[in-house]
Amino acid sequence: MKKLYLLLIIIAPFILKSQCTEGEYEILLQTTTGEWAEEMSWQIFDNQGNELLSFQGEDNDQEYSDVICLPAGCYAINASDSYGDGWNGGLLEVSSNDGIDLEFTETNDSFVSNESLFISPENGYGFYTLLSINYDLECQWTYVGCTDINASNYNSNAIIDDGSCYYPDCAEGETLVIIETQTGDWASEMTWDLYNYEDWTSPNPSATASFQGNNNYQNTTTQICLLSGCYMFMGVDLYGDGWQGGAIEMTINNQEYGPYEVEESFGYFTFEIDIKACNWEFPGCTDSSAYNYNEFATIDDGSCLSPLIFNWDKIDREYLLYMPPGIQENAPLVFVFHGYSGSAIDIMEYCGMNDIADENGFAVCYPQGTQDDWGNNFFNVGYDFQNNIEIDDVSFIVALAEYLQEIHQLSTVNTFSTGMSNGGDFSYLLACQASGTFRAIAPVAGTMMEEIYNNCNPIESVPIFETHGTDDDVTYYDGDPQNEDGWGVYLDIPTIIEYWVNQNNLSNLLIDTIPDNITWDNSIIERHIYSSENSTNEVWLYKVINGGHDWPGSWGGNMDVNISEEIWNFFNQMSLFDELSNLENKPNQPEKSLVNTIDVLGRKSINTGLQLHIYDDGSVEKKYIIK
């Protein structure tokens, strides 16, 4: 499925009424767009650099209202114009009815009138206003400073540039190059590196200058002194869908060059200073039929990934297979399914499962879906808008699994399925209809379509591990009982988990929170582990609070875990003893004995509710007995 915005973006006129708690103040924000509204945007940050609210203009001459509740403290409003000519009549008014003490840095682009703060940039790309709300101490904005990594005073903590960057003067024989980088949507995916020819052709190339996007629609200017020679910008988009309005422009000896843009994953732009053009060589895949064909590559580096073919039901189906070096006979087999409109190569590149396979010795298969009437790859789970497409993907995958198990001597016992979005939906279908082939599944941002749920009848109990964001705006955590989005009716995540808990006859529930080691992702993971003393099967739910439609540990989502590692950990624990390999994959753990079971008041255990299990090694586990 195509990615959608994960930030709170205001795109239509509306009025929200706040419900501020004690100690919070109601802040009113009135935005008026002028001409070229789509160039206008703003964000509010707290004093730790966390984005609290954002606005992206769309229609000219419109008014938008919003309310946010803020405690006393220090804040910053970052205003941007993607074209660089100001807001063209656009205006942001900040006010409050709570009688707050509002202090701010007055600039040419901000002023006070009638107890309201007005921000209306007249020219340029980026502007910021620092303010404090009922705060008695002096504010320290550690995230405001020089954001240019190439400057002498670069501040690695800064996310808002205050124009303070300074650069060393060019020495004799050097030429000043001014580089302007404009980010677009999904700025964090935009990067570039600048290389000279000599460094590029060395065994370990090092960049002369670099850029990593941060805020959307922000202009960053850097200066660099270069000697005579050949140079190249290597532009990359981490997601592979281009820079989404981002571009590079540069000025050399008062002559402007560009703009240069990246359309997909990669692009390069060369220039020379006082020298003739050089013959650049780019290693990569030169086979146009390969999944990872690089149109810019001039030397084939042996990295081509060509699809393997498996003919099923008179259709040639494609897949990728990764076999780690030295893989053992009867090794586990993990299937990874891409999302709607995705591809085998895409999910292979961003999920990182091959690295996990290298460390743990299992094979990974990435099947490619077929194309629907709109040209999008998919696995058939009965979406409404696809008008009853008759593609039997379950039979295809079961046949492919049996083929790979036989040809490559892989385990027939420990074969697993995971996938993103549509690939997660399909994993649930496999659990219902192919439980004899797949030992366990681990959907990410997946769901059960109502028809699949109503007809689910697994012949074997299947352990389940679902990872899902509560703010997923593609596959809703609360389901879509009215088919508002057109995919078809599908269930909410709690109902799905309850179904599989009952299928596996589990009675214990352990809930905890994974340490929030990465705070800037604005999400935490609440872990639910269902188990039973009478079964080795478990059901896991990683509930990503404030998480979106993404693969944790990869692009754009929660970064507290590498979900691919967590998925393998689950598969490994759910693995069955395989007589052929004489190996039980479940990790060895020191034995411990239960010595007491009490409730939260220290009383002897009751039959249901929250319990504390105390072991002879001193450890304590919280379990919630659900029946």
C-alpha to C-alpha distance for 362 and 420, rounded to whole angstroms: 20
| Rounded percentage of the chain residues whose pLDDT exceeds 90 | 49
pLDDT band of residue 204 (cuts 50, 70, 90) is confident
C-alpha to C-alpha distance for 609 and 9, rounded to whole angstroms: 41
pLDDT for the residue 146: 82
pLDDT band of residue 101 (cuts 50, 70, 90) is confident
pLDDT band of residue 587 (cuts 50, 70, 90) is very low
Please enumerate in sequence order all residues whose Cβ is within 8 A of that of 535, keeping only pairs 6 or more positions apart, or say none. 461, 504, 505, 506
pLDDT for the residue 75: 87
pLDDT for the residue 565: 97
Q: Which domains does the chain have, with CATH numbers?
A: 24-141 (2.60.60), 166-299 (2.60.60), 308-574 (3.40.50.1820), 594-625 (no CATH)
Which one has a higher pLDDT value, 425 or 201?
425
8 A C-beta contact, residue 52 and residue 68? yes
C-alpha to C-alpha distance for 377 and 312, rounded to whole angstroms: 17
C-alpha to C-alpha distance for 505 and 225, rounded to whole angstroms: 68
8 A C-beta contact, residue 120 and residue 91? yes
Which one has a higher pLDDT value, 72 or 591?
72
Rounded to 5°, the CA angle 41-43-49 comes to: 150
138-167: average pLDDT: 77
Instruction: Count other C-beta atoms under 10 Å from residue 129's C-beta.
Output: 20
C-alpha to C-alpha distance for 414 and 536, rounded to whole angstroms: 14
pLDDT for the residue 579: 57
Q: Per-residue pLDDT for 142 more than 90?
A: no
Report residue 38: phi and psi, to 5°.
Answer: -65, -15
What's the pLDDT tens digit per position in 243-300?
999 999 999 988 999 999 998 888 889 999 988 888 888 878 888 888 778 877 888 8
Bridge partners of 112?
Answer: 117
pLDDT for the residue 604: 59
Half-sphere CA count of 183, side-chain side, radius 13 A: 23
Residue that has been written with the tokens 């992702």 in this structure = 521
The DSSP secondary-structure symbol of 139 reads P
Which one has a higher pLDDT value, 370 or 600?
370
CA 376, 378, 380, 385 dihedral sign is negative
C-alpha to C-alpha distance for 58 and 78, rounded to whole angstroms: 18
What 3-state class would DSSP assign to 114?
Answer: coil
Which one has a higher pLDDT value, 46 or 416?
416
For the chain, the distance separating the N- and C-terminal CA atoms, rounded to the nearest angstrom, is 38
Radius of gyration in angstroms for the set of CA atoms belonging to the chain, rounded to a whole number: 28
C-alpha to C-alpha distance for 408 and 405, rounded to whole angstroms: 6
Q: Per-residue pLDDT for 580 more than 70?
A: no
Which one has a higher pLDDT value, 404 or 126?
404
Which one has a higher pLDDT value, 590 or 439?
439
Q: Per-residue pLDDT for 222 more than 60?
A: yes
β-pairing, 315-322 vs 308-312, is: antiparallel
8 A C-beta contact, residue 219 and residue 126? yes
309-319: average pLDDT: 93
Longest Cα separation, the chain: 85
Instruction: Count other C-beta atoms under 10 Å from residue 34's C-beta.
Output: 18
β-pairing, 410-420 vs 331-337, is: parallel
Question: Which tokens is 559 given?
Answer: 């970064």
Cα–Cα nearest to 346, from 305, 286, 375: 305
Report for 126-130, 264-268, 441-445, 614-618: range of highest mean pLDDT: 441-445
The 3-state secondary structure of 196-228, one letter per residue? EHHHHCCCCCCCCEEEECCCCCCEEEEEEEECC
Question: Which tokens is 279 given?
Answer: 């013959």
Beta strand segments in 470-617, E: 508-513, 524-532, 535-545, 594-598, 609-615
Indicate whether this model's pTM tops 0.85.
Answer: no
537-560: average pLDDT: 92
Which one has a higher pLDDT value, 337 or 555?
337
Q: Per-residue pLDDT for 9 more than 60?
A: no
pLDDT for the residue 546: 95
What's the pLDDT tens digit per position in 229-241?
999 999 998 877 8
Which one has a higher pLDDT value, 174 or 389?
174
Q: Per-residue pLDDT for 152 more than 90?
A: no
C-alpha to C-alpha distance for 514 and 253, rounded to whole angstroms: 54
Report residue 140: phi and psi, to 5°.
Answer: -125, 105
pLDDT for the residue 327: 94
Residue that has been written with the tokens 């379950």 in this structure = 394
pLDDT for the residue 585: 43
Q: Per-residue pLDDT for 468 more than 50?
A: yes
What's the pLDDT tens digit per position in 385-407?
988 788 999 999 999 999 999 99
8 A C-beta contact, residue 432 and residue 422? no
C-alpha to C-alpha distance for 464 and 454, rounded to whole angstroms: 18
pLDDT band of residue 603 (cuts 50, 70, 90) is low
pLDDT band of residue 589 (cuts 50, 70, 90) is very low
β-pairing, 283-284 vs 299-300, is: parallel
Please, what is the average pLDDT of the chain?
85
Lowest mean pLDDT among 160-164, 200-204, 598-602: 598-602
Cα–Cα nearest to 531, from 509, 500, 503, 513: 509
Cα–Cα nearest to 617, from 598, 595, 587, 589: 595
pLDDT for the residue 620: 53
Q: Where are the alpha helices (DSSP H) in 458-600?
A: 493-503, 563-574
What 3-state class would DSSP assign to 399?
Answer: helix
C-alpha to C-alpha distance for 488 and 613, rounded to whole angstroms: 43
What's the pLDDT tens digit per position in 16-64?
445 788 888 899 999 999 998 888 888 898 877 788 898 999 899 999 9
Which one has a higher pLDDT value, 108 or 336?
336
pLDDT for the residue 284: 82
pLDDT band of residue 460 (cuts 50, 70, 90) is very high
What 3-state class would DSSP assign to 408?
Answer: coil
| Rounded percentage of the chain residues whose pLDDT exceeds 70 | 87
C-alpha to C-alpha distance for 542 and 600, rounded to whole angstroms: 24
Residue that has been written with the tokens 């960057």 in this structure = 165
Which one has a higher pLDDT value, 200 or 461?
461
